[in-house]
Structure 1
């Protein structure tokens, strides 16, 4: 196996190139090139965390629970095993790994040796690619990133080191000698030792071998899709037939005044932290953003002395790597660097006083959550495999169980707020909303196949919480789904489109692409893409979407995180309300497996994204990214999180206190049997079997909160069923599913699956362990 290792630099366009490699993963595989997904979809952060020296505890390892030696050792073993398994599943002869932290954070020779030993386990030949930017530009971008992460020292400290004969050593002397909190870590506070590209090449070739490193030119500040794709193909020696790249856009930089304000605020934040206050990263970013003001960004021309310092060395490097010459041309010099005035009489102390109540609340919340986490980890550390799990779980799942026990990813119900086991008071009917002229309001676009018995409840429910219109696509239906939807269209309730002639990789994505042409979508205020087994559960005010949206008026997108509901012991098909039948679900804290905290999106229809996809809008308009504001289901704004990608909530941005997406992937056992027979809407090439049941049958905790809607849903359902034609087709759909279930019970393959599924009794941690093993094998 030949391996190309991409080590950065972050400011040289690495994220854009990683996005291309991620988007073209399947095309690359067809050409015999594997871009690892097990180490991360885009940036292979897990590789970096696995190979740092045990005592080099960077903010990423702390944030993700791998600060300790044993935890990092387990990570190292897991990453290596998963990468080996991924390689074994592929037919590829080449491997590409990319982690932007490698060049800028691995500074000990011992770390490069650890990396080399790791890679020797999977590759016969390793070559290194590093994209470089002219040093003044790179220093400025690095400084901006550091200030946004908490740096308090001004850039003049770094510039004073320009007079040192050995830049790299002078910088490393500034690195803290002992582990520090995140805002004081060397990655945040120390000068950029790696700007000496000559020494960078020497250091890496000392470990990987002479001639193993290639320097490549940074992407332009605002690269075209062709420029990005051309550089990816050239740098990684890829064929040009892997398609086109999506637009990237220039990075959004803070104004020079905002940068000064952020640094001064950091000084205050640091003092508060010494008094015991806790400022989570998300809140830190939000407070920076609130203090920012428009204005010109800082420019690298102010750092002409940096360009002069590295001019001779760059000339030597260009002789060896001629292609980097354009990237190393410095900006035209202007006046020397001077920190910008923060403007308007800015005083950090006044802002800190205004921020203090939120910081106090964050401190209390964080301490409370930490205590819950400690208690939960102690409890899960005591868990042992049940006798059934001992028989069922493969070795890999059992190993996962041991790793999860007492760890930061062990599932628990510690995020649940309030007593969700009791049924609260009914929500009264919400008053009808009069739409502005020319608006179709809040619109759900969905896809269905043979979902007849469940359509009316789903429509009635979402009408009751404030959805105004629906656009539903169907393909291959036999159970009366089309007739039900056609009748609802005749009644003016929704729009129905046949999708039998879909093209491409999935009927769902084809439908979403086609929906953009529809007036009901073009005139929508908000767009929501969910499936018929997903119910938006609003838990504030009167339980309507407007009640939630009033809490986040700035939001342009809401990440509606799944809560997975199992079959709840219900075996037979029933025409009772889904929201009443299935009340047992996954733990509220369930960061693994990846499906547990998936989300769907409610998107304000402002044209900020060019494509509507299954979980979220994609292809953002780079020129309008500043207008994008994502919120979670706890009505918390997420800063930069999710703006350009991602469809799963994380420990850092999870929140579904006020809005969650109840996901009834199975419903009853017989409903699962019928779903198993017909396949899936989005993933047409994936079968639904026992593994699907294991992933989705969560019955660990009770959540009755959605049932506060039952009375008004039944009232709306009764109104719909007053139409005789609609009621007739609903009854026919129920009869079709009853007959299909009876038919499948008589098929040995399906009856065996049905009986086996009902006998499975797994704890939450056993289920997570098994699901993680299935993810590695698929």
Structure 2
């Protein structure tokens, strides 16, 4: 059955987002979004000038939107964008500059996922649950795309992921709600998840958060803190578009800097974004508008632990010797200086052992040195056999790592 392809636009409010504007647009262009309605909340970092240049080129529609004293600008901006400027659109995703819509099932466009939902005559809104991404332990604003630099996120069950943003069928729109996550629909319209199930409000927190976190088809990657430098530079100055006087400080960073699991965008998606980004830069340059300069600093990392971390992956006997393979490194980025092998009351300490590359560990812990792996052969002829077996521990001046491994005594 051929379904009509839904046209999807994006509406947002921007303030002081200069380093990220082009990537955000390029990412969503690569997924088939052609129209952007951006309320410019009077930036002072060059964002307003960049948005105006993109407006002149026809890439976006910029709507100047100054704050009213004592009033948070986000909801009034949404009401203006949806009620006046984007009223001829079919579907409008209302998201922020640090939120990236991401297909999760191999789709190459947003329309591909939304088409079966849009074909249901009573579906008026589709909610996209957050996927909170942390700093990936990065300290500074280094080179690279946002989607390449911040590749670690919270587990799906993390509480903040119950938040959602809305892809709204314009014909169903009645009004903004009391928070920026939800919209009031005309009577007779349904609000659903991306899997087609009804979006049930969270039992404790109500509308704006859903009872389930659904990432099937689409989700909303929320690069909520970025690096420590970027958080401290931007959040203190920007405040909150949704709440007057709110400053997102250290507690906010700690609560949302979740790096529980590695989950980056595909190489194909990153390349598609980079291709679109290059096109935007060329067009801006051809019209004499300076483009945001990319940071040149090498990334530095904040250790995710104090002390030493490591693992002995394998332990076996070979020709009268014990062979240990694994990895370890300290929070300073150095490899572990020694291992101790204990049999009964006797211990054999090995220092200065050779290392080997472990790119898999470096992917898990970006601050780890590449050569944090080892394969160590320990001769045991000088150690008395022990009936209770063998215990191997990693030992450093900062303490031991991991859990002891035990194995049967030698035959």
Question: Do the two structures share a fold, i.e. TM-score over 0.5?
Answer: yes
Give me the TM-score of the superposition, normalised by structure 1: 0.35
Give the corresponding residue for 1:321.
none
C-alpha deviation, 1:596, in angstroms = 3.2
Give the corresponding residue for 1:648.
209
Alignment of 1:16-165 (within 5 A): none
Give the corresponding residue for 1:535.
100
Alignment of 1:206-605 (within 5 A): 441-502=7-68, 505-519=71-85, 521-552=86-117, 553-554=119-120, 555-590=123-158, 592=159, 595-605=160-170
Q: Which has the higher strand share?
A: 2
CA contact (8 A) 1:472 1:494 kept: yes
C-alpha deviation, 1:640, in angstroms = 6.5
Q: Residues 444 and 706 (structure 1 numbering): CA distance in 2 closer, same or farther, change over 3 Å?
A: farther
Counterpart CA distance in 1 for 2:162 and 2:266 is 18
Give the corresponding residue for 1:174.
none
Give the corresponding residue for 2:279.
719
Counterpart CA distance in 2 for 1:714 and 1:465 is 13
Unaligned runs of at least 5 residues, structure 1:
1-433, 742-754, 763-778
CA contact (8 A) 2:131 2:161 kept: yes
CA contact (8 A) 1:571 1:668 kept: yes
- SS of the aligned residue for 1:596 comes to helix
Counterpart CA distance in 1 for 2:222 and 2:40 is 20
Unaligned runs of at least 5 residues, structure 2:
307-411
Q: Is 1:672 equivalent to 2:231 in the alignment?
A: yes
CA contact (8 A) 2:166 2:181 kept: yes
CA contact (8 A) 2:8 2:111 kept: no
C-alpha deviation, 1:497, in angstroms = 1.7
- SS of the aligned residue for 2:48 comes to helix
Larger Rg: 1
Counterpart CA distance in 2 for 1:589 and 1:435 is 32
Give the corresponding residue for 1:660.
219
Give me the TM-score of the superposition, normalised by structure 2: 0.65
C-alpha deviation, 1:663, in angstroms = 0.2
After superposition, the C-alpha distances for 1:690-734 in whole angstroms (9 at most, x for unaligned) are 1011121000101124554111111111111112167853336x6
Q: Which has the higher helix share?
A: 1
CA contact (8 A) 2:161 2:213 kept: no
Aligned length: 292
C-alpha deviation, 1:510, in angstroms = 1.9
Give the corresponding residue for 1:630.
191
Q: Is 1:689 equivalent to 2:245 in the alignment?
A: no
CA contact (8 A) 1:452 1:481 kept: yes
Q: Is 1:731 equivalent to 2:292 in the alignment?
A: yes
Counterpart CA distance in 1 for 2:21 and 2:241 is 16
CA contact (8 A) 1:483 1:729 kept: no
Counterpart CA distance in 1 for 2:192 and 2:281 is 37
Large movers: runs of 4+ above 4 Å: 639-642, 725-728, 757-762
Counterpart CA distance in 2 for 1:686 and 1:540 is 37
Counterpart CA distance in 2 for 1:568 and 1:465 is 25
CA contact (8 A) 2:53 2:289 kept: no
| RMSD of aligned Cα (Å) | 2.9
- SS of the aligned residue for 1:576 comes to coil
CA contact (8 A) 1:447 1:474 kept: yes
Q: Is 1:699 equivalent to 2:243 in the alignment?
A: no
- SS of the aligned residue for 1:731 comes to coil
Q: Residues 639 and 475 (structure 1 numbering): CA distance in 2 closer, same or farther, change over 3 Å?
A: closer
Counterpart CA distance in 2 for 1:543 and 1:581 is 22
Counterpart CA distance in 1 for 2:234 and 2:116 is 38
Give the corresponding residue for 1:351.
none
Query: Which one scores higher on RCO, CA 8 angstroms, separation ≥ 6?
Result: 2
C-alpha deviation, 1:547, in angstroms = 1.4
Counterpart CA distance in 2 for 1:586 and 1:639 is 22
Counterpart CA distance in 1 for 2:16 and 2:71 is 20
Counterpart CA distance in 2 for 1:569 and 1:493 is 34
Counterpart CA distance in 2 for 1:575 and 1:614 is 31
CA contact (8 A) 2:104 2:218 kept: yes
